[in-house]
Amino acid sequence: MGRPFRRSARPAALLGSLGLALTLTTPLLATPAPAAAAPATPAPSSTSASRGAVAALAGHQDLAVSRTGADPVVVPTPQSIGYAGRALRVPSRAVVIADARTDAPARRLLLSLLRQHGARSVELVRPGAVVTPRPGQLVVLLGAGSRSDIRTALGATAVPDHSEGYALRVLNSATSTGVVIGGHDGAGQYYGVQTLRQLFQTLNGRSVIAPATVRDWPRMALRGAIEGFYGPPWSTADRLRQLAFEGDVKANSYIYSPKDDPYLRADWRKPYPASDLATIKKLVTAADAHHVSFTYALSPGVSICFSSAADRTALLTKLDSVYAIGVRPFSLPFDDISYTKWNCAGDQTAYGDPGPGAAGTAQVSLLNEVAQHLQARGDDVPVQTVPTEYSDLKDSPYKTEFREHLDPSVVIQWTGTDVVPPSITNADAATIEKVWGRKTFLWDNYPVNDYGQAAGRLLLAPYTHRQAGLADHLQGIVANPMNEQTASVLAEFGSASFAWNDRSYDAQRTWHQAMAYLTGGNANAARAMAVFADLEHLAPTFGTTPWQPQAPVLAARVKAF
């Protein structure tokens, strides 16, 4: 979303001059590639499962160690987190108690983390199995929060009754030692393990787990990124890195909408070649492994004849072709098109003279048909859209058609008070919620750099000037990134953190945490990146006044010199 332009050079090449090229391609503790799933085991009775787990967690103080230094920082900031007591040493032997309802990506990540941090032997057993308590053995319970052994071990730390919520306890008492993670759903289990990933610390050369108690859930339902820029699209490798990154920061949405993919826009009627479908399938599989929804955005507005049965059939056939390889959900954007002319004479007959109201009628008719087509399949496949009027607060005949006639399940995206808004307030979001008749899904055009004012720049300033409390009025936030995928992480790290917990979000702190993530925890590299990010701090708008200044740290030092 924005104006296409041609760059004279790739600004990412500048990173090499600071020796940051390597660190910018190696995220901290990147989520491992999916491994073969462990065979499912039958669940025992709830009574035996609870009894077996409690026995397995019998305290062994040989694992408890005194800590020095600061508590680890978990990103995004949990809704509730506290630290008490001593840490747990990661021994050479660990036992993971899981069942058929344990989320497979969460289980794979947990096993990988334990091995990475020193557990040479990791045994996977079902609840209720006989696990003999022994010194030098770490026991981890992972699964649904409703599982009796997990519910018992969590005690008063109940699993939140929120989608994607989880509870985590690191037990280090004289009677119980181990780790317990319970999720409201599969995503909650996975996010609980992502939090555990950040609780590992190093003490005297050995890995320990900080003694945390966490209850957590997202404030916004949709969080992630939309590849919606003009210019060279990301490579498959870029997209795979993006999906892994989103899993790390508990983001759950990736919208595939590159403007330069001809099969999405100019040639939307044409079927994909088999090789292209195979690539999309690869991305869908990777997205599933990180609990990210791969949203497929087809943009027919440039040429569709809304009144044509053939065009509508072609559109549904195209959606069905990617539905068949696992794509969920779908978006039908109508951004960056004209609604003052029709693409065929039939639309003049069907909808009258072109204009905002008539365009709204035609678009709503198509969106409702697509929503009904997908609903008829019997599974939950929501539809999203980007309206042609996507960047203001004013009511209009176009918006009236959407408000009064659009299927209530369809999600409407909005970019704020402008295409590149300098700020977004609760009042703005509340106003547009009334105008559209539903909470909107913010398409935030930062850090995208596909427009003239951003030409030749990397936009590396923090994600900021979005008011705490927006979760009360928005369904979620997706950031529109730069053509440079890894460099976009600095801002996306912030947008995902804000969408998870907007009330506890600190832009500067999260910005520096993003640098630590990108540099693999290398303090020297993170400091060098901070210098470079300050120099590339300018955040322009479509006008002449930027909404974030150039090099504020350098400017302050020059002024004080």
Q: In whole angstroms, what is the distance from residue 389 CA to residue 333 CA?
A: 11
**Alpha helix (H) residue ranges in 408-518:** 426-436, 489-500, 507-518
Give the distance, in angstroms, between the CA of residue 90 and the centroid of all CA atoms in the same chain.
29
Q: In whole angstroms, what is the distance from residue 46 CA to residue 467 CA?
A: 45
Number of H helices, E strands in the chain: 15, 19
Show the tokens assigned to 449. 């750099």
Active-site hit among 248, 336, 347, 502: 336
Q: For residue 336, indicate whether it is catalytic.
A: yes
The backbone torsions φ and ψ at residue 266, rounded to the nearest 5 degrees and listed phi first, read: -65, -40
The full DSSP string for 269-303 is TSPPPHHHHHHHHHHHHHHHHTT-EEEEE---TTT
- SS3 (DSSP) at 195: helix
The full DSSP string for 5-32 is ---SS-GGGGGGGGT-TTGGG--TTPPP
Contacts with 433 (C-beta within 8 Å, 6 or more apart), sequence order: 439, 440, 473
Q: In whole angstroms, what is the distance from residue 69 CA to residue 85 CA?
A: 13
Q: In whole angstroms, what is the distance from residue 424 CA to residue 416 CA?
A: 6
Write the CA distances from 541 to 168, 301, 459, 485, 538, integer angstroms.
Answer: 42, 26, 12, 21, 10
> What is the amino acid identity at position 311?
D
Residue 263 is given by DSSP the state: T
Q: Are 153 and 171 in contact (CB under 8 A)?
A: yes
Catalytic residues: 336
